[in-house]
Structure 1
Amino acid sequence: MAKAAGYDLDSLCAQLNTTSLSGGSSENKDKLTQLPQRRSDSSSELDPELPPAQPANPLSLFTPEQIAAMTPEQLAKVLEKLEQDQVEEETEELKAFGYELFAGEPTSFEPNLNIPVPASYVIGPGDTFEIQLFGKTSQQLNLSVDRNGQLSLGELGPISVAGLTFEEARQLLKSRFKQQMIGVEASITLGELRSIQVFVLGEAYRPGSYTVSSMSTITNALFVSGGINHIGSLRKIQLKRQGKVVTQLDLYDLLLRGDTRDDERLLPGDVIYIPPVGTTVAVDGAVTRPAIYELLNETSVKQVVAMAGGLKPTAYRLEAQITRIDDNGFTTSLAVSDPAQSTVKVKTGDQLSVQERVDVKRGVVKLRGHVYRPKSVAWQRGMRVSDLVPSLDVLKSLPQLSSAILVRERLPLRTLSIETVNLAKVLQNKGSQSDKVLEPQDELIVLGFTEEREENLADLIEALEKQAYAGQSAKIASVSGLVRFPGIYPLGENMTARELIELAGGLAESAYGLNAEVTRISMQDPEQTEVEHHFIDLTKTDSRFVLQSRDVLNVRQRPEYREFATVEVKGEVKFPGIYRIKKGETLKDLMTRVGGFTDFAHIEASLFTRSELKEREEKQLRQLREKLKADIANSQLEQSNVGKNTNLSSLEQLSENLDSTEALGRLVIDMKSVLSGKSEDVILKDGDSLVVPAFRQEVSVVGEVQYPTSHLYDPYLNFEEYIERSGGETDKADDERIYIVKADGSVVLPYKSGWVNAIGVEIEPGDTIVVPLDVNATNDLALWTQVSQIIYQLALGAAAITRL
């Protein structure tokens, strides 16, 4: 399909090879083929010619039309190539050693001209002499060597110094002054030095002719030219003078040993020639400097390892591996014993890999878990558990002594097996059968009665799950229900239900200790899986019901068990306080226990609250608050749209009152009827509260009256007369919906009570008369109906609070 659409798939795949999925230009790739390098994250910054990073999705290299034209096989081929390139890109490659010395653009790296000129410096045209004459004559001379190599000394005549060393020229000049100027001494130094022209050729970063200081050496010239490119040799840099090789510089001497003896000073016309790189060997792994090294006189593995800085302390010193391409072009591997001392010969293109030592301790026994100092100690024949735990001082507080876990490797497959150890018996009788003999690689895990138990067992549970295989479940079991620490535990060989319960910290206080239930998945039939339930008698010490992998042991709660429930009694009773109650106990029973009421008790005003009712009221109050605020906002918006100016201040005030109202969870009861048996008794629950207030002589009037207050009880007054004593109703009052909250919390609506004379409703001490807001006169919106319900709830809450 792709070819039919005019696309050359082979060309597209070839495009991948030259795209920076694997980084760099094609030119750089040719170089990397000859001398592989590890890519640096900053390479794109150092080399502006590198292409920008490619998008994360490799298919973005193709157009949608190209992708659509591919067959599934062709697309798979492209994706395979892309994945291969991505893996190669992510693989960290080795750098060639030493080339980072010249990384970046060329630099002058001029020699230090402030140091004394060495006596061996060769004088040439352009050099300047500074001559200080003193004695019979005092004079300062600054003389330059002319193109003929001479210094003009005035009356003393010219003198040839070119080609002489500085020391030779200095002695010659002193001799001339001494002979021809009697009584005059001369101090001779070199001033400004000449520049010389040298050539840097071969595999230089920028080969060519360069002007440098006459004090420059080979390395100075290399820096000026940008250094050596990645196919140039660092070890056979030649200094040629008049067609002959004067010296050969090995930069490894400078880099590895700081030896500059062969870094010769340059003369005019010198040629620095950099030949191509020679034999290279890659060294990777646990060596000090993993890199690709150029060989000169090194021929053996130990010399290459020494060049790489030697082995790391973490290296596996007994063996290394050489990867080599044989004469037939196939890759082969060669094992090398003791690479630091091996005389095995290396060849160009070899890759020497030194492995890290395995971070696994052998021949040791370990202690961890609920201990102060986890440790690994060398195993010795005859070592026992008591050698790891000699006393309780080793353990943290609250250790579980009855069941520690001993993890042991079973040969030849090195699978893990589990045993339990009773540390209490071990410490009481060291050397006994309970004090198990340890084997190499044993691990003792001490558990504690703390929350870190799951963390201490996590690695072991994971290891047991990993060693499971098809047809063989992991050696773990679960404990649920009323044990101290439910969870997943390692399953020991022939472990019973009682042992697993002990491992889980034992039974909880509320556990049913007679039997437990084991749920088991049976896979005996290869065609199906069955679930079995077994009840285990926990009272029989000889019970040998052996648990199997993945069993779930469930310990049930004791029948009719409940923790102590409490109720609180306050106020005018003989013995107020907090009382524990049993299941089914009633309010009448409780009043007997508290000794009855005092002489000052207002029995009718008793306040009985319940926790679950309070939670329910809190939820209702939250919903009412949200509804009220939303309706107020909607009403304000409607008034703005239609130009009305209805006063919402009353409703907003009610909203604020509702926000400050707390739920009580009151259960209205007729205490006298309950105690006399005329009303059904109240079954008590945990968290119930009874408040018996002192007798009250007042009647309260609240709501839309001129002066809400409380009045001294008068048996001859009705509710309207109490309202008149509070100044009468306001203009906003709804006189048809007046109601009375009795002292016991019940509500009476006088005009709906069915009595012939509503005004004759009996008002009693502790009652509250509520005059509600006339919401219909304020606004005909449905909002106000909701507000009236809120007012009703608030009035009930206010009346209840007043009774406290």
Structure 2
Amino acid sequence: MKKIITVIIILFTFLQSPEMLAQDFLNMNDLSSVKVDNLSEADVVKIKTQLQSKSMTLNQLESIALSKGMSSAEFSKLRARIDKPTLNNSLVNTNSSTAERTRKQEKVSNIKIKDSLNAQIFGSELFDNPTLNFEPDLKLATPMNYILGPGDELQVSVYGVQEYNESIPVSVEGKITIQYVGQIAVSGISIEAATQKIKAAIARVYSTVSSGQSKVSVSLSRIRTIKITVVGGKQPGNYSVSSLATVYNALHLAGGPGKNGSYRNIELIRNNKVYRNVDIYNFLVKGDQSDNVSLKENDVIRIPAYSQRVTINGEVKRPGIFEMKKGETFAQLLNFASGFNEFAYTASVNVTQKTAKEFKVRDILQKDFNSYLPQSGDVFRVTKILNRFENRIKIEGAVFRPNFYSFTEGMRISDLIAQAEGLKEDAYSKRARIVRLKNDLSTEIINADLGAALSGDLNADVLLKREDIVTVYSVLDFREEYKVTIAGEVRNAGEYDYLDNLTLNDLLVQAGGLTGSASKRVEIARMIKSDNIDNSNPNRIELINLELTPENNEQLKNYALMPFDVINIRRVAVYEKPEMVSITGAVVYPGNYVLQNKKETVYNIVSRAGGLKDVANIQGVKIKRPIKAEQIEKIQSIDLNLSNSDSTSVKLSEKLKNQMKYTIIPVDWNKITKDPKHYSNVTLFPGDQIEIAEFNEGIKVTGNVLLNSEIPYREGKSFRYYLNSVGGVDAKGWKKKAYIIYPNGKADVASSFLFFRSYPKVMPDSQIIVPEKPERKKLTAGEWVGFGSIFSSLALLIITAFR
């Protein structure tokens, strides 16, 4: 019994020692009995994991192993095992799954050319759109029936106790090679069968896979490219496509069927036999992709010529050219064209057919749609429905519901009025108008007595016909539109509707009441009406004068108005609101001042403002007066006798509107202080701005001079002195037209007499401006020749005259 127990313990120790060794290799004290050949691949991975966790090199491990009794020969084997690639770089007890990976596909370059030559052929848009394709989605799960072949690449992963992950290509012999497992033939079998085969092979080598402690996953990481041939397409030829590609994918790459190619009978040829007939209309009309089968290596897609095509135009939802199979009817053609649209005439369809010699026309009735078989070359034309109604009638005017109504035989005018929910209160019951369309499409008018028709008189209750238009008049239609006009001192002057019993008080309230400037005087102008002409009365209107109380907008007697009366509310004799002017600059109290009287002058306002300060420039007093809109209009209305092409008038108008906001009035303050009655003591208007400049000794020189600058004023120095001080006039400067603007806004210009030129006097704070010379057009050579001819002719005439 003891011997049996000892054998079991020794056997257990022998079986477990490699795993125990791998789990705690670095902590063992005796390594003399370690046999590296007995270590599994997982044991070696765990030793490598321990080395990585402790950041230990193989040289450090060698010194420790040799010191613990391990022989140099065994450690050399261990070093070789550790350096050699293994299933993975670690062996951990985890159940983590493989990381998500992206399937790859060799890029296929096929040039897609948009072809609009056959744009009317139904289905061509499926292949003419460059942005549309039928490429397989590489992110979808691999179809379990996918057949592997050379060029595919498998992602083999082992996870669990043991981990392994590697992309393995399928060789040209159809095999994959897994380290320590060997070669496995996978070509020609499905991915599902290959997965089972690979799992069985790995389980034979790694015990944890067979025991279930580790799992195996096989997926397709790279898809092979296959060669196929397209015949009869717009771009026929050999194509490289994905092994997951389908028939539609290949047709799209080839641009679809060619000019005369069929869309209904495309052949997929495999192994020299027709594998499938593809009808693209199943996809276009029904969305059925049963014909969109997967392709295989060396497949041929043959697009034969179409057998028959027909054309349908007009009022269908999808007009175009359609391919028809034998036995298909016009009803099926309508289905391809998505049916009639809402304006189609569906009772019959016109078709133009071809015979051996000429064309002929045929009408297909609606009952024959399911039996007529279209012939090749037929052109169907679906026309619009007629723009007329078979049972329409209309009523308009003074009824509660004017509208179109359905007509029935025997309908009378009283029936139509009842349908329109009766007459309105303002309806004119003596007469109604019926506009009737006669057989020759001309119109006639029939009058009806509504009162008698509605009271039961059958003779007056007119029988109606289709397309009759019944008009019920309103008594208001016969009344003239009366107005009254109010003007003057009311808030909302204008024209108002006249109503019966309208009074002056009513109109005043409607017009918003009187303004504060309204007087008690009211003048009413009334139209004179008479059947007889009175030559002794020269008056065109009658004038009525009344008085009212402005405080309460009421007159003493409520006066009744008549149509077309014109009421004028007069203004009180004296009613002026306070109006102001402003003064700025070097005065003691600048600001706004109310005009005290109608003759308020500059001197009065300056005196009210405390007078001038010591720093005031008495030569710099001026008034800025706003330009009113009516003044601009007057200037613009002046005829300058300029041609339409001359831009002077346009520039003048723009300058008046956009630049000239004020007019400047110079003031001679010295003359005013000596004589307040001097003409410079201007009477002010509301809105005037008085400006008093502060004293400034600088002289500004601007315009077309070499240097725009400000020169200190020197008493007695001339106009030329200041021009020379800025370097003189530049090449474009017009010196003889130079002018000066004084501080008070007054201007002066240089003048000349004979050979003498005088320049204006310069005063402090003035501004000298040199304008630009106008451009002059130079004479051409032809013009000089013309002048020469004229002078020669004159000279010849003079010589001839003195002979």
TM interval, shorter chain, is 0.3 to 0.5
**TM-score, normalization by structure 2:** 0.45
**TM-score, normalization by structure 1:** 0.45
Per residue, is there more helix in 1 or in 2? 1
Q: Which has the larger radius of gyration?
A: 2
